[in-house]
Structure 1
């Protein structure tokens, strides 16, 4: 680029170049998110500025304005987008220095704190679940604590609805939470990779869901794209996060909940809260939800050789939320509590 060309190079050009050429190998979902943030928050405010004329004071004012409407983490992300774009331009002699590196990250708006369903709200949500893909999704998410990114990647080959009752000890129905929609298909951490027993209500919901999916697959014929996904679209493809949120909010409204206050991720928080209220020790809950330090299932385990299967959560949820038509034997607050060690935190941060 000529000197005159470099002098006219704009922030928008730098950001666009980084989005198009600086994100090779990144997960498509990550690329989409970064592009969306850049086009909403960086380019409209600073895009017209010539890159060589951009000052640290310009960036400070821009970040201060964003901190009034965005969370701290989002402010940091949009700042990073600008910084990386300028670093790429700097390496190509289009600007002498990266002024973003001279700026701090202001504190943004506080995000909405996560919350958990009460027993009555959880019961109402389960009672309102329709005979649909999202209905089955809600049941499994709430009663197993699996992350939404894990359930969206769950395959039927990792679900065992029968177990092996004749083995010693018996193997209960279970699901292998070994994948996610993250880059590379891995779970959030290696400790997140786990096999968990399925509560009876999950077994029933998944069996009915598989039958519905088989019928739907026959109806669409060649348009069905087989990825073996448990929770899939009408043509067998992966569900995206936006679709899950939208469909979950419809179920929430049917249960009498304010759809503006609840999101799918809070089903996991509710799982933790309900088990904690039922006296399940924090160490066991950590294993169930795949936190570091919990028990691991080796990668060499096969479908009929699951050892060990984490069944504490299934046992507790069978008591609290039995299959349809059976009255709960106990509410979480009525389950005899396991004594906690002095200083042990009664809640588990997610």
Structure 2
């Protein structure tokens, strides 16, 4: 008679679920097969301090593999990992235009410079050497731009034009690499993000010159009678971004209460054309109070749009946007830029970017004594530190005026004169400006 075998105390897992066991060093290890680049399968191992966590990590990777998402190989090249990161990770977390810029950065700089390196063997020295090479290399020669010209004028003629990358571009390239490696660390493909150990330096910021009070007044006066007068007035009074203005719908406005809900932005993408997207950040989704002057302009604009609708008849294409074309369609951001440039020329003002209206709003509000936290909420900055950093030049000037006024009061004199110094320099504008 056969003696029945006692039930095993070990928990069994279904075929394909992988294995999990405790190592001699006390850690738990889980291993299983997943989809790898090239439509192959490989065995991966994950580790944790508890059996439950190790099993959860493995289950997550197997589930992603079953959805057809390949898991990058740690032994693979940087080129393979960056391609995987762009196609399976970044594409789900970035806006289309941002993803397009990331892809161009990867194809143009990261893969040619670091693509042959192994992901797990990449060092901070490799990254620093590569960045230094980029900093000193003529892009005309490195990317073959000169050879594509009808008449070469750089390396092909023996006279290098020394067209090098700007410091801001180098910082952007470095930030893309850091983002990719940060995800590799989260997926435990590499133990650390070596790009974080490399400093690119702080470039000297470019300078932007916001409109003065007199210039802003002249711009609004010239805009009187323009079919987009309400847009320019709203931009100067509220600091809304171009995309936020063009993406605004009538349902977002409460003209009786005098408020506007900023929920979306209009952008042109390479695949979808003019597309309405969510706001730039979570903090950008906000409700703002509309000044009385803008309320009057918007009501007049609404009446004007109704007349355009009646004139267009059956050709009217109702997009629901507050600011639309004469046929009701959404306005292309590029066309708005052209209209703004023409308006500046007509007003006899220097040429500035449309985004500088946003800087002008914040600068003029600060000079009127409005608190920084109010400006931060109006502009939709994620943190008040961003507002404080971008407009530090204005605060410095106001500090000087305040201390001069105090000095005049203590000495018994009138503070009619203003001392000018470093605080009156044109404000800086760099990559951090939102």
When residues 13 and 257 of structure 1 are mapped into structure 2, their CA distance, relative to the original with a 3 A threshold, is: farther
Q: Deviations over 1:164-188 (max 9, x none)?
A: xxxxxxx5xx231332439973574
Instruction: Give the conservation status (yes or no) of the 8 Å contact 2:279–2:285.
Output: no
When residues 103 and 126 of structure 1 are mapped into structure 2, their CA distance, relative to the original with a 3 A threshold, is: same
Instruction: Give the conservation status (yes or no) of the 8 Å contact 1:178–1:187.
Output: no
TM-score normalized with structure 1 length: 0.60
Q: Secondary structure at the match of 1:152?
A: helix
Larger RCO of the pair (alpha carbons < 8 Å, separation 6+): 1
Q: Which of 59, 62, 69 pairs up with 2:165?
A: 69
RMSD of aligned residue pairs (Cα, Å): 5.0
Higher strand share: 2
> Which blocks of at least 5 consecutive residues in structure 2 are unaligned?
1-37, 41-72, 136-163, 267-275, 385-401, 407-422, 428-432
Q: Secondary structure at the match of 2:206?
A: coil
CA shift for structure 1 position 76: 4.2
When residues 82 and 290 of structure 1 are mapped into structure 2, their CA distance, relative to the original with a 3 A threshold, is: closer
Distance across 1 between alignment mates of 2:195 and 2:378: 42
CA shift for structure 1 position 12: 4.1
> Which blocks of at least 5 consecutive residues in structure 1 are unaligned?
164-170, 295-337
Moved more, 203-212 or 147-156: 203-212
When residues 32 and 58 of structure 1 are mapped into structure 2, their CA distance, relative to the original with a 3 A threshold, is: same
Q: Is the aligned partner of 1:178 residue 2:178?
A: no
Distance across 1 between alignment mates of 2:316 and 2:83: 36
Instruction: Give the conservation status (yes or no) of the 8 Å contact 2:223–2:343.
Output: yes
- In the alignment, what sits opposite 2:300? 207
When residues 69 and 240 of structure 1 are mapped into structure 2, their CA distance, relative to the original with a 3 A threshold, is: farther
Q: Deviations over 1:107-135 (max 9, x none)?
A: 25333234321122112322333755654
Instruction: Give the conservation status (yes or no) of the 8 Å contact 2:182–2:193.
Output: no
Instruction: Give the conservation status (yes or no) of the 8 Å contact 1:187–1:193.
Output: no
Alignment length (residue pairs): 289
When residues 184 and 7 of structure 1 are mapped into structure 2, their CA distance, relative to the original with a 3 A threshold, is: closer
Moved more, 114-123 or 284-293: 284-293
Q: Which of 249, 252, 256 pairs up with 1:155?
A: 249
Q: Which of 347, 358, 371 pairs up with 1:268?
A: 358
Structure 1 or 2, whichever has the larger Rg, is: 2
- In the alignment, what sits opposite 1:253? 345
- In the alignment, what sits opposite 1:329? none
Q: Is the aligned partner of 1:57 residue 2:125?
A: yes
Q: Which of 120, 125, 139 pairs up with 2:233?
A: 139
Q: Is the aligned partner of 1:197 residue 2:307?
A: no
Moved more, 33-42 or 152-161: 33-42
Q: Is the aligned partner of 1:111 residue 2:205?
A: yes
When residues 280 and 102 of structure 1 are mapped into structure 2, their CA distance, relative to the original with a 3 A threshold, is: closer
Q: Which of 3, 8, 17 pairs up with 2:84?
A: 17
Q: Which of 160, 176, 183 pairs up with 1:81?
A: 176
Instruction: Give the conservation status (yes or no) of the 8 Å contact 1:217–1:224.
Output: no
Instruction: Give the conservation status (yes or no) of the 8 Å contact 1:159–1:175.
Output: yes
When residues 158 and 9 of structure 1 are mapped into structure 2, their CA distance, relative to the original with a 3 A threshold, is: same
When residues 92 and 273 of structure 1 are mapped into structure 2, their CA distance, relative to the original with a 3 A threshold, is: closer
